[in-house]
Amino acid sequence: MVSDRIRRMSPSQTLELNAKVAELRAEGKSIIALNSGEPDFNTPPPVIEAAHRAMLEGKTKYTPTPGILPLREAIARKLSKDNHIEYNPNEIIVSIGAKFVLAAAFQVLCNPGDEVIIPTPCWVSYVEMVKLAEGVPVLVPVADDNRLDVDELERAITPKTRIILINSPNNPTGAVYTEESLRRVAELAVEHDCFIITDEVYEKLIYGTTPHVSIAAFSPEVWERTLTVNALSKAYAMTGWRIGYAAGPRDIIKGISAIQSHTTSNSTSFVQWASITALDECDEYVEFMRKAFEERRNYMFERVSAIPGFKCPFPEGAFYLFPDVSGTFGKRTGDRVITDAPALANYLLDEAGVALVPGNAFEAPNAIRLTYSNSMENLTVAMDRIEAAINKLV
C-alpha cells in the first residue's frame, strides 16, 4: 500500500534504539543511554525566560515562513561575527531544526539521478534524505584517523555530481576538518560546478587545536555555491525546541521556503523569539557546557582506549567517540558470539545495561558510537559496566 520511496527508505536506527531504551526502562531495568545525541544540560535560563515572556506577550501566532525578521537579523550577526560570512536576512531561513532544512535543501537542489557525495562515517539521515529527493548517495570513506580524504572525494566526482556534503565537527566521529582540506573541497566544487552543503551544528563544541572553519567564508565564488546549515539544538541544549536555520544564495533559500510553506509553515513562534536571546546573550552558558564536555571527552577517551578490542581515534569536537570494535568480533561468552557491531551493541545493552549505536547506522559497520553528553557519574558507571562485560568475552 505504501509508495516505492517509503519501501526504499531505511528506518532511523538511533530513533528505534531510543524507543527500545524507553521500553526497557519502563520494565524497570537500569539502562544508561550513551546512544542519544543531545546535551544532558537544561536550556539556559535566559532562553526559557524569553520564551515565557514571548508567550505572555501574545507572540504565539503564525510567523512569516522564513522566520521572524529579528531572528534572521540575529543569525546574520552571528554568522558575521563567528563565521566571517555575510548574509542579508532574506538569504536566511529559520526551520524546525537543521534536519528539516537539510531534507528540504536536497529536494531543492537535486534532480532525479543527481549524485551527492557524502564522506563516511556519516549521520544516519543524510543517505535517506538524498534518496527521498531522488538523488543518488555516493559514499566516500574518510582516512583511518577520520581526516577528510579529499583525494578520494575528487575521484568520486562524475558529470552527475551535484552536491558535496560536509559535516564538521562530525557526527559520529567527532572529527574537525582542517582549513586546508576544506579549501580543497571548495576548489573542487568550483572546478566541477558542484554545490556544497555544510552542516555545522556542532561548531561550538570543539576541544582541540583545529578551529572550526566555514567553507562559505573562503571567497564570493565559494559563497554563491554553498548552503550553511546550523541549529541551536546542540550548542544551546535546545534539542526539543526544534529550531535550526540555513543561509545561502537567495534562490536556494526561496526554494526551501517554498517547501516549508507547504509542509510545516513556520517554526514555533515563541521559540523564534527565545532564540534571539540564545544567540545574543548566552555565550557563557555555551562555554560552560563545552568545558564540561571536554572533561568528559578526556575521561571517556582514556577509558575506551583501554578496552581490549577497541581502537578509538581521538575526537576534537561534537560529543561522540567512535571506536573500531572489530577486535571483539568472533569472541564469545557461553553461546553468545559477537559477530559484528550490532551484536556487540545488543550484548552490551543486555549484559551491561548500556545503550550504544552500532556503526552500520553511520555507514561504518566495524564501529560503535558512544556519546559523552551524559553526567560524569553515569559515564563512570557505564564504562565500568562495559569493561566488565567485555572482560567476559573470550
pLDDT in single tens digits along all 394 residues of the chain: 888 888 888 877 777 777 788 888 888 888 999 998 899 999 999 999 999 999 999 999 999 999 999 999 999 999 999 999 999 999 999 999 999 999 999 999 999 999 999 999 999 999 999 999 999 999 999 998 899 999 999 999 999 999 999 999 999 999 999 999 999 999 999 999 999 999 999 999 999 889 999 999 999 999 999 999 999 999 999 999 999 999 999 999 999 999 999 999 999 999 999 999 999 999 999 999 999 999 999 999 999 999 999 999 999 999 999 999 999 999 999 999 999 999 999 999 999 999 999 999 999 999 999 999 999 999 999 999 999 999 999 9
Three-state DSSP state, 310: coil
| pLDDT (0 to 100) of residue 25 | 80
The domains found in the chain, sorted by start residue, are 4-42+285-389 (3.90.1150.10), 61-281 (3.40.640.10)
Phi, psi for 356 (deg, rounded to 5): -130, 160
pTM of the model: 0.95
Element (H, E) at 296: helix 283-305
d(CA 292, CA 165): 29
Four-CA torsion 384, 202, 146, 18, nearest 10 degrees:
50
CB count within 10 Å of CB 188 equals 19
User: Using the 8-state DSSP alphabet, how is residue 84 labeled?
Assistant: -
d(CA 102, CA 258): 14
| pLDDT (0 to 100) of residue 314 | 95
| pLDDT (0 to 100) of residue 27 | 87
Q: Are strands 244-247 and 92-95 parallel, antiparallel or unpaired?
A: antiparallel
| pLDDT (0 to 100) of residue 277 | 98
The closest of 104, 99, 119 to 167, measured between CA atoms, is 119
User: Using the 8-state DSSP alphabet, how is residue 91 labeled?
Assistant: G
Question: What number of helices (H) and strands (E) belong to the chain?
Answer: 14, 14
Q: Are strands 320-321 and 368-371 parallel, antiparallel or unpaired?
A: antiparallel
